[in-house]
Structure 1
Amino acid sequence: MVVLTFESYIELLYRSNKILISSHQNDPLILDRVTLNRYGDLPLHIASMLGHTNFVKEILNRKPQLAMEPDSQRRLPLHIASTKGHVELVRALLSASTEACLACDCDGNNPLHLAAIKGRSDVVKELVQARPHAARAIVQQETILHLCVNHNQPEILKFLIETTGDDEFVSFKDSQGNNILHLAVVYRQTETINFLLLSTTIQVNEENSSGETPMDILGQGPKDLKYQQILQSLTRAGAVEAKIGNLFRQDPQSSRNEIGVDGLDDYNKRQASPFYLKETSKNSDDWLDKKRNTLMVVASLIATMAFQAGSNPPGGVWQEGSREDPNIKAGYAIMATIHPLEYQIFLVCNTVGFVSSLSIILLLISGLPFLKHRFFMWILMVIMWIAATSMSATYSIFIWLLSPKAESNTFRNVVICIVLVWIGLMTLLVVGHIIRLIAIAMRILRRLLFPKKRPILRPTIRNQDGM
């Protein structure tokens, strides 16, 4: 009689079935001995993991009860084969015993749960056909439908609902009170959401343990493209937000003080919710980021134009000097000699625009914390308007000096008038904006000096007659 150790027996997994048959003939108790001596990695489990279907069939032909032998994690060979997706091997194990479909490992999962998590659709169909009741097993207060949503397996979810689902099964809630529609909205699974809304009777306004409907959960996430798609689907299905938000809209003639104590508590919780505050802060940050990016681009363009105009003034520079006139030297601006007054105005306007745009650029790249407030962002915008107005005045001087007076006097006057009108409008905007900043500052100062207490919203207690 040949006695094999467990290690030498595992090597048989990689050899032909004839060796197994020969070894079993020499030692009929070899399968029982290996199972008795080891509780960890059993031969049938290893063969199921590697997908050796013929080897598994040979073992099951001799010892079909080994299909129900667990390992140290309480997993049966069917658990492993289902996880790996070996369909033929799953059929062989089911032929030995369909009871294995209901066996749970140390985590409470049966083979059907593991196959659904891994997306083994063919294995799921085999297991459901063998034991449909395995799909209704509860794992840590979650059904297999919850597992499908948590692991984004929409096809298996559809199959399970169409074959084994009913209203109670589909609407089952987990430990947090979430049904599968709540979870699908959390994970932004548009395909699953549309299927649940169109093909099931799940309640679209069902509340979880926190009193939140799917519409409430959707509003707590980012407002991206998926948000718009899911919002449209939920709205068509009649979804609404939190119950306190609906009380304000259901009866336009009712007053807010008729809500009740519970409604006020929910309303206060929602206003103090970190998601509500985070969303408000996010909108403000997005507005500031857009303003900062716009100011940076415009300021860079104005600084470039001002530098170019300063280094290359209208009319160019003298190429050679003159002994008779000391103001005529190589590199001096021609405009400074011929039109000294206009040149001074040109330099003032161009310098104001250049310095203003550089100031904006330096402030934006400095990263100072006070620039994240709207008040200081408005100040930067005022500086930008001053820079733009200065460049407009510089442009007017260009047109005045470079256009011949005799031939194009009318055209020159029209252009200058247009620029002056535009400068006037910009001046009105600057003045109006300064007035607005002063008003905001006065309002903030008044709130600091004379704080106003908010009125407490008190519920109206109704008697039994509804009065």
Structure 2
Amino acid sequence: MNHLSNLSDKLKLGGEEDNINLLYEAIEDNPSILDIIDSKQFVETPLHIAASRGQIQFANEIMNLKPSFASKLNPKGFSPIHLAMQENQNRMVLSFVDMNKDLVRVKGKGGLTPLHFASHNGDYVDLLAKFLLECPESIEDLTVKGETALHIAVKNNNYQALDLLVCILRKIIKKGARKFDYKILNRKDEADNTVLHILAQRNFEPQVAHTLGLLLETRINLNAKNLEDKTALDMAFNEDIKGKLLTAGAKPGLRVRAAHTLAHKLISNITIIDKLVIFTCSLRMNISEEQHNTWLIVATLVATSVYQSALSPPGGVYQANASSDNNVNITSSNSTISNPGNAGKSVMSNFYFFMFSVANILSFLVSIIAIFILTPSGVLGGLVSGPVVLFSMNYLVSMRYISPGSNTNIVDITILSIGFVVFIYLAIRFYHVIRRWAMMLRSKL
């Protein structure tokens, strides 16, 4: 025991004096000394000592030997990077982040991460920017009180840090970024207060006005309620802040209609739209990525081939040729006719064109539905859906135009049916967007 104590003292002295030789002398005496220290759940490692004193060389050396020391908490609940920040050892902190960016997310006492600590103190804005640049996901981390870095910044009147955090949220480019920034901006703390609730209670100073303006330009929920059923407008006591909130569309808590509870939503009857959404989602989930790509290609080829057959139906169409004296002669592939009204119409008989149009339109309809289902959701899917809808309209117009006169009613009914299906699809596609808009409109009533 005394031997281990002597080795620990040697390691401690090495951390204090930045002496790497003492580190290896201890390892020579007991090659398992670092493992023995690491086996303890809460312990002050040599890395803690080196970090608090800014001994970068010793810290880098021991991190190479024992990376797990970097996330180890001492008995007071702090990791080495936490201690470095507390002692204003900024170069030490940057060295930690350069070696392992995930150290920004190490949780210490109270769930505080280095990002939270940097948001608390206005002197650490440059470090905060470095943390966000290296590890933008760290902005999701919460303290044990449910606070984000934004909550901590506004509660400590660190408006420069809050501005930086809001701007970073608006610039983050990742999958599902719109849901991501909405989730972080509207996160509630233990009292169900959002950042806007807290900021609304401040005096109307230039910094507060600027930060409030930034928040109101984001997708923050103006009418979120806290545990006291108060919105940000209810919490504001300054008339200038109230005016800005009212201009942005904020409402008092009493005028915000209570949203249905989760239990109510689950108990409520499933609508036709819900069933279609569930059906579409289940189809997407039950095929692999390879099958998804294959079927999308097949559906696209079928739709293209069917469209081409509408442009060039079997047997062709009646052609119109203008003569030099402006008289019109109408010719088919086999004969000349005298009725200009048949120009561009299919030469097939009514019965055969009916059979052709039914099979053709059904094939086109199935392939278009398949394309819609297989197309990814989100903004990209919306961009793709527009040309597909226009493509479908062009096809329907072509079928309507080449249809012989006696078949126009059948074709018109089919076109209306396809139009209805396309409309249902678009309603499903933008179901969540429409619902969000409806909730926003109800909150303003």
TMscore range, shorter length: 0.3 to 0.5
Q: Which has the larger radius of gyration?
A: 1
TM-score (norm 1): 0.44
